[in-house]
Amino acid sequence: MMINAGIDTTFATLDWCMTELVRNPEVMKKVKDELRIVAHGEDLISEELLGKLSYLKVFIKEVIRLHPAGPLLLPRESLQECKIQGYNIPKQTRLVINAWAFGRDESYWEAPEQFKPERFFDCTVDHKGKYFHYIPFGFGRRICPGMNFSMAIIEIALANLLHRFDWSLPGGITIEDMKMDEGGEIISFRKQKLELVPTASKVN
């Protein structure tokens, strides 16, 4: 079950990544320009090169801020009665944490609905559960055990998809036609199927 969940969440994240790239062509250009420089004419982006792809990394961070694959984290249960920000929490209360809402909270994020990968160049926030306004993989003992593996898969897959191909919408479809509605009960998928046209790009 955990393996299936990891596959589904990784696929959902890649789907949202490609969606945001097509919706933000200036961002796609920056990612592809970085890939071209780092690849030095190589056909494939290897794992060893991932550490040099700083813009790709902040792009993925921004995608999972707006589109966490698991918008509602695993439920917790309070061990004792407590009070949080004025709310009384009885003992054995089941608590569900809305990671999706945290990622769009204007108390923590400037212009939270705006897609802006550069915001992560200016802050130390990461996805490893240290900052409660950015917890796409959860936090504490119940943080996603496949977090590091998932991020590595997303980075290497996305890097090579963008390095080897140019991507565009099918003829007659514009960016304005793309609907961003989310579906799924546990995992956040695009409600509308994403269709893109790949064209082989020159890597040299």
* DSSP states of 39-61: HTT-SS--GGGGGG-HHHHHHHH
Q: Look at residue 160 and give its three-state secondary structure.
A: helix
- Work out the end-to-end distance of the chain between its first and last CA atoms, rounded to an integer number of angstroms: 42
**What is the enclosing helix (H) or strand (E) of 180?**
none
Q: Is 144 annotated as a binding residue?
A: yes
Helix (H, G, I), strand (E, B) or coil at 197: strand
Whether residue 151 contacts residue 50, with contact meaning beta carbons closer than 8 Å, is answered with no
SS3 assignment, position 20: helix
**CA neighbor of 146 nearest in space, from 38, 9, 26:** 9
* CB-side neighbour CA atoms (13 Å) of 101: 5
Tokens for 32, please give them.
């592809």
CB distance 21 to 27 below 8 Å: yes
**CA dihedral (54, 32, 148, 16) positive or negative:** positive
The binding site consists of 144
The binding site for heme consists of 144
